[in-house]
Amino acid sequence: MDVQQRLRVAVEAMRHDLELAGAGPTRGPFAGPLNRLFAPIAPARIGVTGPDPELSFRPDRVSVVYVPAGGAETRLTADMTSTGSPIVIDGSAPGCRPASACSFAVGADVLIFEAGGVGAAHEVFTVSAVDAANNLLTPSAPLSRPYSAPAQVAEVVRRTYYLDAPGKRLMMYDGARSDVPLVDHVVVLQFAYYGDPRPDSVMPPVPGASSCAYAGTPAMSVLTHLGGTARNRWPHHS
């Protein structure tokens, strides 16, 4: 009975996170789903600790990213001077409480991105310090590049659900700090993915950018044509 109850709780947690996968900022000129920038559902472990190789696939795990309802979000008001410099944000943006650095908190995972479409510069960092008086966020590690105003920042949730095969456990990883066992005595876990059967349903990235669906110059689709008729074009959100 205990295992069944834990399984129900775990399935509900996965359902909740999968339904929210891809939810993006809700305020400002760049409000909209995250699939405008990157794939918010991945068949691999993503995050700081032990991520799977880029573009790898594992049927026994799934990772999701989303902006939580009411999460902190705003924009940069000044260019970063280096990859490790504090980030200057707009503390008076819509939805921000005064003198609160827009409610960002130490330990929060934050998506920073430039509004350039699929494949535009973006990454997730963890906040190590907040200066509410000067509206500064300090990343816990240097970013891959210095971002320029008006790049956007938004609090995000990252989750990876996966099978610990040797331990026979369903696990949850938070993308940064911890792996938590959810259910014991799990021997098989498999996720199935369904998509549009036509590669041209995925829009190519902007010139100079890249994405997991295109490669080369000029960009050529790396997806297999599975037949059928494309009904939706990227980006879409459901």
Report d(CA 166, CA 44) in Å as an integer.
18
Give the whole-angstrom CA distance, residue 88 versus residue 198.
Answer: 42
* pLDDT tens-digit map of 118-166: 567 899 999 999 999 999 999 999 999 999 999 999 999 999 999 999 9
Residue 24 pLDDT exceeds 80:
yes
The domain locations on the chain are 69-155
Does the predicted TM-score (pTM) go above 0.85? no
Separation between Cα atoms, residue 108 and residue 102, nearest integer Å: 12
pLDDT for 120:
76
State how far the Cα of 236 lies from the Cα of 36, in Å rounded to an integer.
8
Q: What is d(CA 56, CA 15) in angstroms, rounded to the nearest whole number?
A: 23
| Burial (0-12, 13-18, 19+ Cβ within 10 Å), 135 | buried
What percent of the chain has pLDDT above 90?
A: 62
- Tell me the torsion sign for CA atoms 38, 39, 41, 45: negative
According to the model, what pLDDT value does residue 29 have?
Answer: 76
- Cα–Cα separations (whole angstroms), residue 101 to 109, 151, 216: 15, 16, 41
- List pLDDT tens digits, range 47-80: 989 999 987 899 999 999 999 998 999 999 999 9
Tell me how many helices (H) and strands (E) the chain has: 1, 13
